[in-house]
Structure 1
Amino acid sequence: MMFIGAHMGSPIASVPSRTVKIGGNTFQIFSHSPRMWRITTKEKDAEKFKMEMARWKLDPQKVLIHASYLINLASPRDEVWKKSKSLMKEEMRIAHLLGLKYVNVHPGSKLSESEEYGVQRCADAVREIADESPTDVTLLLEIVAPKGGNIGYNFKQLEEIKKLSRRNIQFTYDTCHGFDGGYDITSEDGIKKLINEIEGTIGMENLVMCHLNDSKYPLGAGKDRHERIGKGYIGREGFLKFFSYEEFHQMPMILETPGSDIEHAEDIAIVKEIWSQLGL
């Protein structure tokens, strides 16, 4: 079985039923407003969510929480760095409360510091978060677009963060972010290069989630502007090539494309059409 879904808005208790309605069998959520430092999720919300997950027979180990946009684990500003670590621990606690396995976060921006500084800063934060979080929740670092001082825009940097943290973290691939950073999934050579780099760094077994987004800008643009499936520079043919490689068949595919449930249902249908072309 292949898993497909979308980033879904609140209330979280409605997400399992809405996911099934749009043709999905997995999803991503925010645990709270991504623009706030304070988490408001309560135990009664979590119990209702878990009941709905069971009712609609969705696998909690295929579902993702996306951490707050405020979090910057590479920040050279001590106050921001401390608040980021604290909020990330709360995100991990909420995942445990909801019965979910994964929390996804961007590694962060080093601002004007060196990349070496940013990688080490993020690794130190990851170690503390892992040590002070529930053991049944896994932290995922997401590959990001090379803009704004971001670190983690290639797999070598992600592997270095893991190595320096000395913790068992895993990873998320974003097709738009990767395309922004020069990973060309519209060509056979580009996909083979991507797979070889993954295998030579983090290991394919540690790439456990995928954000499935088309790109509003060309290869290597570094803009981080998501587009609906088939309407951007990756295009249907690019995703047809991407899905032709079995290395990407096991991880859940989460849409972060523009639009509401209606548009996500249309995009999911397009992805299923692409899969059917490949006999999946």
Structure 2
Amino acid sequence: MDMPFDPSQAGSLVVGCHLSVAKGFPAAAGVAVQVGANALQFFPRNPRGGAQRQVSEAERAQWLERREEAGLRYTIAHIPYTVNLASPKPAAYEFARRVLREDLERCRWVGADAAVTHPGSYVEGDPADGTRRIIAAIEPVLPLLEEPGAPWLLLETMSGQGSEIGGRLEELRAILEGLGWPPRVGVCLDTCHLFAAGYDWRDPAQVDRLVEDLDRAVGWERVQALHVNDSKFPCGSRRDRHEKMGQGEIGRRGFANLLRHPRLRALPMLLETPIDGELDYAAEIRWLRDLDRELAAGA
């Protein structure tokens, strides 16, 4: 299976954060350098799902050059939260299908490694109908994912709140199985969501259980990225509220267990913690890198 990121070459952490590209992709690369990131996540359009900003050939060329200079080892787009691939409402569903295709095409244009999306919410009725709608929405873009330079499409693990799909790994497996296990559709983990869904990062045995469950449910080769966020709410709460690193319920102990696990540590890590301004990510990235160095030194 073709992998955009080679974990065996990871060495130091590949860690970044979600940055705005509203002022252009090259500008976002500059901010990444300022905060000490070597990975970057972005919205391909307004997060509320508005129209895409046009990216010229000149901006694209400058971005590709600036990305190399900045040492960005992984770039990933986040499909807007307003996209609901499981929606039972025809207008919302057709909007989701259109945005998914357009944003994957944008990712290919700018050379992003992957695009991550929330699987969706069935809203009402039978959850299985929501899963079928997700499969039907993704099927038409599978040929796009086979084209040269295409990104991966990653389904995010969710907290399981309300009617959302993806709070259980079996739900992600059902989508992948329904799609016929396509080679460039995988999974993006989220520490806060998994904690809320019942995986306690503070217990090393629970971390091992998560990795084993992922291997069994979807295959580890499909796990391509990791959102690193602390949690405002307790383990198993099924409530999705991110907190700054080390200041929530997961805490230092939980993230230390994550970093001690070689498979998890090798994944590209993207921060989505609450901040007042993008430069605040510098402290969050430094906290994670400092913890990794302390563990390496035997602290």
TM bucket by the smaller chain? over 0.9
Which residue, out of 197, 206, 221, partners 1:205? 221
Which ranges in structure 1 are unaligned for 5 or more consecutive residues?
A: none
Which residue, out of 124, 127, 145, partners 2:136? 124
Which residue, out of 18, 40, 51, partners 1:7? 18
Q: Is the 8 A contact 2:38 2:70 kept in 1?
A: no
Measured against aligned partners, the alpha-carbon deviations of 1:228-250 in whole angstroms (never above 9, x if no partner) come to 00000000111001111111122
Measured against aligned partners, the alpha-carbon deviations of 1:236-272 in whole angstroms (never above 9, x if no partner) come to 1110011111111221010000112332111111101
Query: How do residues 205-244 of structure 1 correspond to structure 2 at under 5 angstroms?
Result: 205-244=221-260
Q: Is the 8 A contact 2:258 2:265 kept in 1?
A: no
Structure 1 residue ranges (4+ consecutive) displaced by more than 4 angstroms after TM superposition: none
Which residue, out of 45, 48, 53, partners 1:35? 48
What fraction of aligned residue pairs are identical, expressed as a percent? 26
Which residue, out of 24, 31, 50, partners 2:37? 24
Q: Is the 8 A contact 1:105 1:140 kept in 2?
A: yes
Query: How do residues 1-280 of structure 1 correspond to structure 2 at under 5 angstroms?
Result: 1=11, 2-10=13-21, 11=23, 12-43=25-56, 44-59=58-73, 62-132=74-144, 135=147, 136-166=150-180, 167-168=182-183, 169-259=185-275, 260-279=277-296
In 2, Cα distance between equivalents of 1:71 and 1:182:
25
Measured against aligned partners, the alpha-carbon deviations of 1:110-143 in whole angstroms (never above 9, x if no partner) come to 0012221111111111111223456222111101
In 2, Cα distance between equivalents of 1:35 and 1:134:
28
Q: Is 172-181 or 10-19 further displaced after alignment?
A: 10-19
SS of 1:104 mapped into structure 2: strand
Q: Is the 8 A contact 2:77 2:115 kept in 1?
A: yes
User: Considering only aligned residues, what root-mean-square deviation do their CA atoms show, in Å?
Assistant: 1.5
Q: Is 5-14 or 82-91 further displaced after alignment?
A: 5-14
In 2, Cα distance between equivalents of 1:241 and 1:51:
36
Query: When the two structures are aligned, how many residues end up with a matched partner?
Result: 278
Distance 1:45 1:275, change over 3 A: same
Q: Is 231-240 or 28-37 further displaced after alignment?
A: 28-37
In 2, Cα distance between equivalents of 1:47 and 1:113:
47
Measured against aligned partners, the alpha-carbon deviations of 1:76-133 in whole angstroms (never above 9, x if no partner) come to 1122111111111000010011011201100000001222111111111111122345
Normalising by structure 2, report the TM-score: 0.89
SS of 1:63 mapped into structure 2: strand
Distance 1:225 1:123, change over 3 A: same
1:48 Cα deviation (Å)?
2.8
SS of 1:272 mapped into structure 2: helix
Measured against aligned partners, the alpha-carbon deviations of 1:158-177 in whole angstroms (never above 9, x if no partner) come to 01101101223111000001
Measured against aligned partners, the alpha-carbon deviations of 1:137-196 in whole angstroms (never above 9, x if no partner) come to 211110112113100112111011011012231110000011111111110221121111
In 2, Cα distance between equivalents of 1:47 and 1:209:
25
In 1, Cα distance between equivalents of 2:59 and 2:120:
29
Q: Is the 8 A contact 1:127 1:165 kept in 2?
A: yes
In 1, Cα distance between equivalents of 2:279 and 2:53:
28
Q: Is the 8 A contact 2:29 2:66 kept in 1?
A: yes
